[in-house]
């Protein structure tokens, strides 16, 4: 029997986050302003055809795959990398308020432009002008400027993903990621859910931090950003 975290984007868009979904047959995607994440019910010719129909010619699709992407007619591979799916596993959750000088603040619609700018600079993963609508986001400001943030993205029954963990290059090594993640994890656990996350497999520094916070690798996956061409098959 499949685990609820298998094909997590599809499950999120067909359960707890269905209000953000656009659909075509076996394919789903988040509304464009939310994020470029997409999914299909199964990794098959029909799934890719439905996805092509959904995103349209020259449309972009960001996918979580169980294996490295294999070339398909009608699709161009833009970028990708091996990825780890990690789940919080009964670790000792430290106090998220342990550094009162950090200046932690709630983030919302009024911070959207700054959040997008920080994500564009640090590249934690797909991020849009409305990504903040997916859940709680917290940040740290220095001299009024947003220099670090973390929040929630994918949600399926029983689990919420910690995401957009990023720090401005001029403010690293100050423990901001740990403080912000801990606060987001605390909120998730208070709802009776389990925190989980995705990280590039080659980002050893981040993986080590997540392990210290109590996350363990559940499975290896692959992230792929694809673009359709005029020759892409579509579902009729």
Q: Taking the chain (236 residues) in consecutive chunks of 10 residues, what is each chunk's mean pLDDT?
A: 94 98 97 97 95 96 96 95 94 52 85 97 95 97 95 98 97 94 96 97 95 96 93 47
Work out the end-to-end distance of the chain between its first and last CA atoms, rounded to an integer number of angstroms. Answer: 31
DSSP state of 11: H
Residue 129: count of CB within 10 angstroms of its CB:
14
Which two structure tokens, joined as six digits, stand for 209? Answer: 């931090």
Cα separation, 191 vs 199, whole angstroms: 23
Residue-level pLDDT at 1:
79
CATH for 8-84+221-228 is 3.40.630.30
Which pLDDT score, from 0 to 100, does residue 100 have?
Answer: 42
**Could you write out the DSSP letters of every residue in 155-222?**
EETTEEEEEEEEE-GGG-SSSHHHHHHHHHHHHHHHTT-EEEEEEETT-HHHHHHHHHTTEEEEEEEE
Q: What is the pTM of this model?
A: 0.92
pLDDT digits 0-9 by tens, 109-167: 999 999 999 999 999 999 999 999 999 999 999 999 999 999 999 999 999 999 999 99
Closest CA to 141 of 186, 85, 180: 180
Domain ranges for the chain, please list them.
8-84+221-228, 86-218
What residues contact residue 70 under an 8 Å CB cut-off, 6+ apart? none
Largest CA distance in the chain: 58
CA 83 and chain centroid, separation: 11
Q: Tell me what pLDDT residue 97 has.
A: 47
- According to CATH, the superfamily of the domain at 86-218 is Gcn5-related N-acetyltransferase (GNAT) (3.40.630.30)
Q: Which two tokens stand for residue 236?
A: 């009729």
């Amino acid at each position: 029997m499949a685990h609820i975290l298998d094909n997590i984007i599809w499950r999120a868009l067909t359960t707890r986050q269905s209000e953000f979904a656009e659909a075509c047959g076996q394919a789903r995607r988040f509304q464009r302003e939310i994020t470029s994440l997409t999914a299909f019910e199964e990794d098959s010719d029909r799934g890719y055809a439905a996805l092509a129909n959904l995103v349209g010619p020259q449309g972009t699709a960001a996918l979580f795959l169980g294996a490295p992407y294999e070339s398909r007619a009608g699709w161009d591979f833009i970028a990708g990398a091996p990825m780890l799916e990690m789940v919080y596993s009964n670790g000792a959750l430290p106090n998220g308020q342990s550094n009162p000088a950090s200046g932690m603040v709630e983030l919302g619609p009024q911070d959207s432009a700054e959040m997008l700018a920080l994500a564009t600079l640090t590249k934690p993963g797909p991020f849009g002008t409305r990504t903040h609508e997916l859940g709680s986001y917290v940040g740290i400001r220095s001299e009024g400027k947003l220099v670090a943030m973390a929040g929630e993205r994918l949600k399926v029954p029983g689990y919420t993903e910690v995401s957009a963990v990023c720090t401005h290059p001029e403010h690293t090594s100050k423990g901001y990621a740990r403080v912000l993640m801990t606060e987001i994890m605390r909120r998730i656990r208070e709802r009776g859910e389990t925190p989980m996350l995705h990280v590039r497999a080659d980002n050893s520094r981040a993986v080590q931090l997540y392990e210290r916070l109590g996350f363990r690798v559940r499975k290896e996956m692959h992230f792929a950003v694809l673009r359709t061409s005029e020759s892409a098959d579509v579902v009729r």
